[in-house]
Amino acid sequence: MMEKSHLRTCVRMVTKLEKDLTNIGKRVKELRVSKGYTSYRHFADTFEIEPKSVWRLEEGQSDFKYSSLKRILEALDTTVDDFFKMA
């Protein structure tokens, strides 16, 4: 059985991950819209990216692969390094 302190640590880590995913998603969406792509579907179709992948990332719905983030950012003419420097 897990100790209470260990459980609290796990809960804090999950909460932080969820916040991070949400913040990354919001920033990707803001960048997409600032580039003139008001529809995630139009953006995804233009760059041959699965629309569901774009939506899930923007909504912070799940953990994602680095390669997925990189591909979306490249389509937005932004590097991963530059994306995280914008924070």
Q: Which domain holds residue 72?
A: 21-85
Q: 54: Cβ–Cβ under 8 A, 6 or more apart, which residues? A: 32, 40, 43, 44, 72
Q: What does DSSP assign to residue 47? A: T
Q: Rounded CA gap, 5 and 86, in Å?
A: 35
Confidence of residue 2 (pLDDT cuts 50, 70, 90): low
Q: Which of 3-17, 32-46, 60-74 has the highest mean pLDDT?
A: 32-46
In a domain, 13, yes or no: no
pLDDT at 34: 96
Overall pTM surpassing 0.85 (yes/no): no
pLDDT at 3: 81
In a domain, 55, yes or no: yes
Give mean pLDDT, residues 55-83: 91
Q: How many domains does the chain have?
A: 1
In a domain, 43, yes or no: yes
Supply 2's token pair.
Answer: 């897990």
In a domain, 26, yes or no: yes
Q: 6: Cβ–Cβ under 8 A, 6 or more apart, which residues? A: none
* Residue 48, domain CATH: 1.10.260.40
Contact (Cβ atoms closer than 8 angstroms) between residue 72 and residue 57 = yes
